[in-house]
Amino acid sequence: MSSENAELNHDEHGEHESMSRGKIWKVFAILLGITVIEFIIALWLVPKGHIPLHWANPIYIVLTLFKAFYIVAYFMHLKFERIGLMISIIVPILFIIGLILVLTNESHYWTELR
């Protein structure tokens, strides 16, 4: 009976073994860096005219997608899952990104008509 408990404890420990404290801090630093870049763009570069707004919006989208990747991959443990689960989540996200791109293109068309 004690060997079953030891095996169970080993399996529970092995599930989260790849997320060490150092790895969590590294991912936190990456997320913090991306957020700082977004704030610099939003609060300093765009208002002072260093970057036009039509360049800043795609930069925000790309940076936000990077942040979403790190959150889903590490904190929701998707990076450590099987490929089938990863594909079942990533494929709809790609369709949503495509929809966003199409709608962004369409919105430019409607604003040019006025």
Structure tokens that stand for 31 in this block: 């997320």
Token pair 């404290």: residue? 21
pLDDT of residue 113: 62
Please choose, from the candidates 35, 36, 30, the residue with its C-alpha nearest in 3D space to the C-alpha of residue 74: 30
Q: How far is residue 11's CA from residue 53's CA, in Å, rounded to a whole number?
A: 50
66 CA to centre of own chain? 4
- pLDDT bin (cut points 50, 70, 90) of residue 11 is very low
pLDDT digits (tens, 9 = 90+) for 57-95: 888 888 988 898 888 877 777 676 777 777 887 888 889
Q: How far is residue 40's CA from residue 56's CA, in Å, rounded to a whole number?
A: 11
Query: 103 vs 107, which has greater pLDDT?
Result: 103
- pLDDT bin (cut points 50, 70, 90) of residue 8 is very low
pLDDT of residue 104: 82
47 CA to centre of own chain? 26
Token pair 């079942």: residue? 88
Q: How far is residue 58's CA from residue 62's CA, in Å, rounded to a whole number?
A: 6
Query: 23 vs 6, which has greater pLDDT?
Result: 23
Query: 72 vs 47, which has greater pLDDT?
Result: 47
Token pair 């709608």: residue? 103
| DSSP 8-state code for residue 78 | G
Q: pTM for this structure? A: 0.59
**Spatial CB neighbours of 25, under 8 Å, sequence gap ≥ 6:** none
